[in-house]
Amino acid sequence: MAENKIGSMSENMAENKTENSTGNMTDKMSEIKPYEHKVQYYETDQMGIVHHSNYIRWFEEARTYVLEEIGFGYREMEECGVMSPVLEANAEYKTMTHYSDRVLIDTKVVAYNGIRLQLAYTVRDKETGEVRCTGYTRHCFLTPEGRPLSLKRSYPEIHRIFEGLMEISDKL
C-alpha cells in the first residue's frame, strides 16, 4: 500500500518539475514564492511586539508551505510512513515585528544526507525588506515505529527531490 502511495506521490512531484533549455531537471522550488504571514494580535505582547516564540511557529508554517508546494507535505509523508520530527530549532532576532505587519519567510535546504535535513529561514518585512529574524531547524526521518529511515535507500525518488532542493538553495 505504501508503494502505491509513493507512486502517486511521485507523479505529483513529477508535475512540479520542469525541464530547462539544457535538458537538466529544475525543481519547481526555484519558482516557489516566500511564505507570507500577517502578524495577528494574539502573537504580540503588551507592547504590540511579536513574542519570540512565534518565529519558531512561523518557521513551521513556511516549512509546511514549501513541502506542500513540492508535493511532499506532511500528510503525504505520514501516509507513506515517513515521520520528520524537529531535532533542533534556532532563531536569531534582528529587529522587532509588530501587530499587523506582513512578513515574508524565505526557506532554504542547507543540509541533507538522506537521513537528516536542515532548513534555514529568513523572515523579512514585506514592505521594507528589513530582516526581522533568521534561523534554522534540523530534522531527521523516522519510521512510524521511531526507527531511523534513509530516504536514499527506502524512497530514492523523494531523496532526489531533497537533493534537488539543496542544489537550488545553494544557487539562491
Q: Known catalytic residue: 45?
A: yes
Dist CA 97 CA 166 (whole Å): 29
The 8-class DSSP code of residue 79 comes to H
Judged by phi (left if over 0) then psi (alpha if -120 to 50, else beta), residue 119 lies in: beta
Dist CA 126 CA 105 (whole Å): 9
Dist CA 106 CA 124 (whole Å): 8
Give me 84's grid cell.
Answer: 520528520
Amino acid at 126: K
Contact present, 59 and 88 (Cβ < 8 Å): no
Catalytic residue of the set 45, 106, 125, 170 = 45
- Residue 120 has φ and ψ, to the nearest 5°, of -115, 145
Residue where the block lists cell 530582516: 131
- Residue 130 has φ and ψ, to the nearest 5°, of -65, 135
Q: Could you give the residue numbers annotated as active site?
A: 45
